[in-house]
Amino acid sequence: MKSWMRRPNRFPFSIWVMVIPSFLLLVYCQRQLDDGQDTAQAFLNAYVQQDFSEAIPLVVDTFRTGLRMLEKDLTKLPMPWPDSARVLRAMPHAPDTVQYVAYTDSLIDTMYLAMAKTEAGWRIRFERNDPIHVARSFLQAFHRGLFRKAARWVSPNSMRDLEMAALYYRAWQGPEVTIKSVELGPKGRRALVSYREKGNTLVKKISLIKVKGYWKVSFGKEAQW
């Protein structure tokens, strides 16, 4: 019989031995990824509804303090809050990170949620990103003279202002601060946080803007509404 009429040879057994485990591993990894996204969505649902009793168990143990502090802050200070949020996808270059979008009345923010695989399954590495936390963290670091630490919460365009302030206030130690209120600016991109220093009845204000979805302290023209 001519060679072109012959039936093609079947895959040898050795190839199947390599292919089948690889396929099963791919299915397993995809399933693990799906489980992570399910956990992320469950956390976002509870977070949007401010149901912290449901959200806290989904957070890595060492990150739960921040969520409990947020719950405590919200009982005292009203703050801008998303109406809904949903997971978009897992990041192919960072399998422990998922991208999600948060919706408000006038704003859509695309954000990232860091995750970790624990013995109990996927858990959220929660880090606060709200005007109260950012303003308080910046002021505490600034008043202690920890200007490099304070820079973490400053917008890139305001970094020069912080550097100049660091030269002027390098030997200064400020008092403790108490956040009094938060006011949301146009389109939810700006916030004005009012605070009071210990031993002083004067209420001061600090401006924040959103930079790639993250709240940052801003100075100068950038801070104007």
Tens-place pLDDT, residues 10-24: 545 555 445 444 444
Q: Is there a contact between 60 and 124 (Cβ–Cβ < 8 Å)?
A: yes
Say how many Å lie between the first and final Cα of the chain, rounded.
Answer: 86
CATH of domain 13-124: 3.10.450.50
Domain ranges within the chain, ordered by starting residue: 13-124, 131-223
**How would CATH label the architecture of 131-223?**
Roll (3.10)
- Which of 102, 76, 77, 47 shows the shortest CA–CA distance to 193? 77
Exposure of 92 by Cβ count < 10 A (0-12 exposed, 13-18 middle, 19+ buried)? exposed
**pLDDT at residue 6 in the model:** 52
92 band by pLDDT with thresholds 50, 70 and 90: confident
DSSP state of 169: S
Q: Which two tokens stand for residue 52?
A: 């912290």
**pLDDT at residue 171 in the model:** 66
Length of the chain equals: 225
Q: Which two tokens stand for residue 219?
A: 């100075």
Q: What is the pLDDT of residues 161-186, one digit of tens each?
A: 899 888 887 767 888 999 999 988 87
Residue 138: Cβ within 10 Å count: 24
Instruction: Tell me the mean pLDDT in the region 104-125.
Output: 86
Q: What is the pLDDT of residues 141-160, one digit of tens each?
A: 999 889 999 999 999 999 99
Report the DSSP pairing between strands 203-211 and 214-218: antiparallel
Are 13-124 and 131-223 the same fold in CATH?
yes
This prediction has a pTM of 0.77
Cα–Cα distances (Å) from 173 to 169, 188, 199, in that order, read 8, 33, 14
Percentage of the residues of the chain whose pLDDT score is greater than 70: 82
Cα–Cα distances (Å) from 118 to 2, 60, 95, 131, in that order, read 60, 8, 14, 30
